[in-house]
Amino acid sequence: MQSRNSPRPSSTLAAIAAAALGLIACTAPQPAEPQTPTTLTIGWAADLLTLDPPNESGTAGIAVLHNVYETLVSYDFTAGTLKGKLATEWEVSDDGRVYTFQLAENATFANGQPVTAEDVLFSFQRVVDWPEAIQGSQIRPALAEATMTSPDDKTVQIALAAPNASFLPSLAGTAASIISKSQVLEAAGEDPEAQRKWLNENTAGSGPYQVTEWVPNSYVTLGASKSWWGGTPTYESVEIRSLQESSQQQAALQQGDINVAMDLLPQQVTSLTGDFEVLEGVDLSTYYLSLNLAFPPFDVPKVREAIKWAIDYDNIINGLLAGKAARAGGVIAEGLPGFDASLADDYSYDPEKAKALLKEAGYANGFSFDLYYVTGDSIRGLGVPLSTLAEKIQSDLGDVGIKVNVVAQDLSTLFTSYRAAKLPALIWYFGSTIPDPDQIVSAHGDWNTQATTRVSFNDRAITEKILRARVLTDPDERAAIYKEIGERLSEIGPYVFMFRPIPAVVATPDVSGFTLTPIWSFNLS
Amino acid sequence: MRRVSAAGTPGPGDVSGSGGARGRPSRYSVSGLLRPLAKLPGVGVASFVTISVILLVAVVGPMVTPYDPVEQDFGALLAPPSAEHWLGTDQLGRDVFSRVVAGTRISLLIGVAAVLLAVTVGTVLGLLAGFLGGWVDTVIMRITDLFLAFPALILAMAVSAALGPSLLNVLIAVGAAWWPEYARLARSIGMVERHVQYVDAARGLGVRTVPILVTHVFPAAVPPLLVKATMDVGLAIVYIAGLSFIGIGVQPPTPEWGLMISDGRIYMQNAWWIATFPSLAILLTGFSFNLAGESLRDLLDPRHQATRKGTNAEPKLT
C-alpha cells in the first residue's frame, strides 16, 4: 500500500533522468540517408483556409493551389516576363482591349479530360458571379465588364471594356486558376453553392498534383497526377504538415519526420547548415507599421515622419532577423515594374530628428497609442515572432517619447476590427499574389479600394496616378508612374515600411524538384 | 467539546477535504505527491528558508540587478551565460538574470494578491453561509457550486480573456477562479462554530452576529485557511505564468516568468537559457510554497502531529 502511495525518490530520479535522455535524443542531429524519397513532407507554420482558388488568400493555400491548378499564363521571375502555361500563345488587339488565347493542344486535367475554352469561361465566370470571394478581386473588376467568348474549343477571347495593363499578369494569380467544368458538374451539379462547397474541399485542376486529403489545421496531402501533361511529377505524394513553431520544425527535420522546414529561425538555419541543404528565396512581401489617420495624432504628417525616423531599422534587420531581410522603402518589391531601390534610403534611424519633428508637430512630450499584431504569428520564412518585433518597436518609439501599448490579437478578431477601421496601428505585411504592381499599390493608395479606407488614407494624387497607370500599355511609362506613386507613398503615406524577409528553407539533401518562388512560395514541378 | 451538526460535514481540521470538493485529482495530486517529502526532517524549515530568500529577492532584488530588465542590447543578442550576463541574454539582448529577479517581485506580488483576494471573498461568504445557514447558505453555496463547475484554469482563462490582458485582470481572474474553495472551507468551519458553547454563550449575552463572527468564529478558521493559502500561492504563481504563457496574462515587456518562457521556448535549441531559468524559478517557488503549506499543516493540525513525530503511523522514507 505504502509504496504505491509514495513514490520512492530513486524511482522519481530515474524518471527524470529518462525524460532528460529522451529530450537529448530528440534534439540530437540525425541526418537522413541520401535516397530519393517518394513522399515529400513539408513542415509549415501556415494553414490552408479553403481549396477554392478565388477564395483563398492565405500563403499556404496559394502555394498548394499554385501546384494543383494551372493558369493561362505564368511569370518568369528571372526574365521578368510573362510566359505561357495553359495558353501557348496570345494576342492583344491594337487598342489593348481584346485578348485572344490559344490553349495548349495536349493540356489535360487530372481526370484525363482535355482543357477546353469552356473550362476557362466556366472558371472565370465563377469569379465574376462570386463577389465575396476574397482573392477574386484580382481579376473580377476587369472580367465583370468584359465579354468572354470561345470561337472554338481551344480558343478563348476576352474583350475588356477598357485597356488594362495589369490584366494579363493578373491571370497568372491563383484566382484565375482553370477548373475542370465537367468534373465539378459531375460532382456537385449546376448549383453554384453546391459547387463552392465541393471545391472548398476538393480540387479539379490540371497541375502536377491534386489534393487527396485535407485535415484543416493538421495536414494536407497532395497526390501526383500520373497523367500530368507537363511531365512526371517528382514525388508520388507531397504532405504539408502544420507545425506552428520553429522548434517543432527543427526537431521534426532532425528526426527525419519532414524533408523541408519552412519557418526556421536564422540561428537554427545556421546551426543546420552542413548537414542539410539551405534554399534561400525571395519574398515580395513588405513588413510595415500601418497607422490609421483617423486616430490623432497620426493625421499630422510630421508625427508620421517622426515615427519613420524613430525605428532602428538596422538593428531589426541585422540583429533580430540576423541579416535575413532587406530594408524596404516601399511596397513595390524588386523584380516588379516601378521598383525603386533608393526609397530604402529615405528614412534611417535618427531618434534626435524624430524628437525634433515631434516637437515641431506640438508633441514634445510624446503621446501614446495601441499597436496591434497577430498573436503567435511570426515573420514569413524567418520564424521570428511578431511579438519580438513589437517589443523592439515599442522600445524604439519609447526612446523618442512615444508610449506604445502592444496588443496581441488572434487573426480573425484583429482582421474584423481592421476591416472596420478600428485599429490605430498595426504590424502588417502585404505580399503580391500576382506579378504586377497594380494590386499592391492599389491596396495602399487607391481610395476606391477598401484597404485604404481601413487606414483613412485618401490622397487624390496617388489615386489618380494608380488609375492612369492601369490603362497605360507602354511598360516604361507605367513603371515611371509607379515610381512616382512609390515616392509619394513613402513620403506622406500612413505606412512605416521596414523590410522584406529573405526566407531560408532548410531541406534534407535528398530533396529535389522543390524550388522557391517569390510569389506562390514554392514550385513542385 | 465540539458538536458536529450535519452528518458528514468536514471538521475544521480536515484541510484535505476542502479542495477535494471538485472530486478531481488536479490540485491535490500535487500536494499528495509532495506530502511524503514534506515529512522528511528539515524540509519544512528548508522550504521556509527558501521562501524567505525568494521574498528577499522580491523586495531588494530589482534594486541590485546588474541591468535594467527591459533594456535591450543589440550588441549582445542571445548571448550565452557568461561573467557579464550570468544567465545569458534573450532575443532582444535583455539580461535574463535581471529579468528573472525582476520577475520574482511581479510573480510573488500577483500570486499573493490573487490568493488574498480569493481568501477574503471566500472566507467572508463561507463563514456567513455556514454560520447563518438557511437561505443565505443556500444562495451562497449555489453560486459557489456554479463556479466550482468549471475547472479553475478554464475559468481563469475565460475571465482574463473577457477582461482583456493586464496585470490587474490576471489577479482578478485567478482570484475569481479560487474563492469558491475558500468559501467551502470557511463554511464548514462556520457550521461547526455555530453550535459550540462559547458562541452560544456570546449569543446569550446579546452579542450580535458580526462581532461573534469576527472575534469567535474567524480565529478558528485561521489555521486551515493559512495552510491552504500557503500552498495556493505556489499554484497561483504557476497559473499566472500559464496565463501569461498563452498570451492572456501579463503583457510584454513586463519581465514575468511565464512570458519569458513563452518568448524563449522557440529558442530552446539555440539559446536554452532564455526559457530554462524562469522555468526553474517557477519550479522552486511553487515547490517551496507547497512544501511550506504541508509543513504548516503538520504544525497546526493536531491530527497530523503523530505522523510528524514519526512514531509508528507511517514507515519512514529512506
Q: 3-state secondary structure string, A373-420?
A: EECCCECCCCCCEHHHHHHHHHHHHHHCCCEEEEEEECHHHHHHHHHC
- How high is the pLDDT of residue B90? 92
Q: Which of A6, A265, A390 sits opposite B36 (nearest CB)?
A: A6
pLDDT reading at B28 higher than 60: no
Q: What is the mean pLDDT of chain B?
A: 82
Q: Would the CB atoms of A387 and B77 count as touching at under 8 Å?
A: no
pLDDT reading at B318 higher than 50: no
Average confidence (pLDDT) over B36-63: 85
pLDDT reading at A19 higher than 50: no
- How high is the pLDDT of residue A47? 85
Q: Which of A2, A385, A394 sits opposite B266 (nearest CB)?
A: A385
- What distance in Å separates the CA atoms of residue A392 and residue B257, rounded to the nearest whole number? 19
Q: What is the mean pLDDT of chain A?
A: 88
How far A347 CA sits from the closest chain B CA (Å)?
20
Residue B121 and residue B182 in contact, taking contact as beta carbons nearer than 8 Å = yes
How far A58 CA sits from the closest chain B CA (Å)?
23
- How high is the pLDDT of residue A466? 92
Assigned C-alpha cell, A323? 541579416
A390 touches chain B (CB under 8 A): yes
Q: Would the CB atoms of A271 and B269 count as touching at under 8 Å?
A: yes
How far B35 CA sits from the closest chain A CA (Å)?
8
Residue B145, number of CB atoms within 10 A of its CB: 12
A315 touches chain B (CB under 8 A): yes
A480 touches chain B (CB under 8 A): no
Q: Would the CB atoms of A246 and B266 count as touching at under 8 Å?
A: yes
| SS3 state at A1 | coil
pLDDT in tens, A484-499: 999 999 999 999 999 9
Q: Would the CB atoms of A391 and B33 count as touching at under 8 Å?
A: no
- How high is the pLDDT of residue A96? 87
Residue A291 and residue A496 in contact, taking contact as beta carbons nearer than 8 Å = yes
Average confidence (pLDDT) over A207-226: 93
How far A373 CA sits from the closest chain B CA (Å)?
12
Q: What is the largest CA-CA distance in chain B?
A: 76
Candidates A391, A394, A395, partner chain B, best to mutate (most B CBs within 10 A): A391
Average confidence (pLDDT) over B27-31: 46
- Residue B136 pLDDT level (bands cut at 50, 70, 90): very high
- How high is the pLDDT of residue A433? 83
pLDDT reading at A22 higher than 70: no
Residues 6 or more apart from B314 whose CB is under 8 A from it? A2, B39, B307
pLDDT reading at B239 higher than 80: yes
Chain A residue with the nearest C-alpha to that of B267: A247
- How high is the pLDDT of residue A80? 77
Between A444 and B19, name the one with better pLDDT.
A444
Assigned C-alpha cell, A407? 496588443
pLDDT in tens, A43-85: 998 888 899 999 988 889 999 999 999 999 998 877 878 899 9
Average confidence (pLDDT) over A127-144: 90
| SS3 state at A424 | coil
- Find the range with the poorest average confidence among A94-108, A407-421, B19-33, B106-120: B19-33
pLDDT reading at A31 higher than 50: no
Strand positions, DSSP E, A52-137: 73-76, 81-84, 87-92, 98-103
How far B93 CA sits from the closest chain A CA (Å)?
9
Q: Torsion angle, CA of B218/B224/B229/B231, rounded to 10 degrees? A: 170
Residues 6 or more apart from A294 whose CB is under 8 A from it? A421, A456
Report the complex ipTM. 0.74
Candidates A4, A267, A377, partner chain B, best to mutate (most B CBs within 10 A): A267
Residue A435 and residue A519 in contact, taking contact as beta carbons nearer than 8 Å = yes
How far A352 CA sits from the closest chain B CA (Å)?
19
- How high is the pLDDT of residue B32? 59
Residue B275, number of CB atoms within 10 A of its CB: 21
Q: Would the CB atoms of A385 and B253 count as touching at under 8 Å?
A: no
pLDDT reading at B312 higher than 80: no
pLDDT reading at B8 higher than 90: no
Percent of chain A beyond pLDDT 70?
93
Q: Which of A312, A388, A394 sits opposite B91 (nearest CB)?
A: A388
* DSSP letters spanning A147-216: EEEEEETTEEEEE-SS--TTHHHHTTSGGG----HHHHHHHH-S-HHHHHHHHHH-----SSEEEEEEET
Between A255 and B7, name the one with better pLDDT.
A255
- How high is the pLDDT of residue A36? 60
- How high is the pLDDT of residue A327? 94
Q: Which of B36, B263, B266 sits opposite A245 (nearest CB)?
A: B266
pLDDT reading at A232 higher than 50: yes
- What distance in Å separates the CA atoms of residue A469 and residue A437, rounded to the nearest whole number? 10
Residue B26, number of CB atoms within 10 A of its CB: 12
pLDDT reading at A206 higher than 90: yes
Q: Would the CB atoms of B314 and A2 count as touching at under 8 Å?
A: yes
- How high is the pLDDT of residue A5? 39
Average confidence (pLDDT) over A113-130: 95
- What distance in Å separates the CA atoms of residue A110 and residue A104, rounded to the nearest whole number? 15
Chain B residue with the nearest C-alpha to that of A10: B318
Average confidence (pLDDT) over B244-262: 87
Residue A6, number of CB atoms within 10 A of its CB: 17
pLDDT reading at B118 higher than 90: yes
- How high is the pLDDT of residue B62? 85
pLDDT in tens, A311-357: 999 999 999 999 999 999 998 988 888 899 999 889 999 999 999 99
B296: left (phi over 0), alpha (psi -120 to 50) or beta: alpha
- What distance in Å separates the CA atoms of residue A2 and residue A425, rounded to the nearest whole number? 61
Q: Which of A8, A265, A395 sits opposite B266 (nearest CB)?
A: A265
Assigned C-alpha cell, A304? 508620421
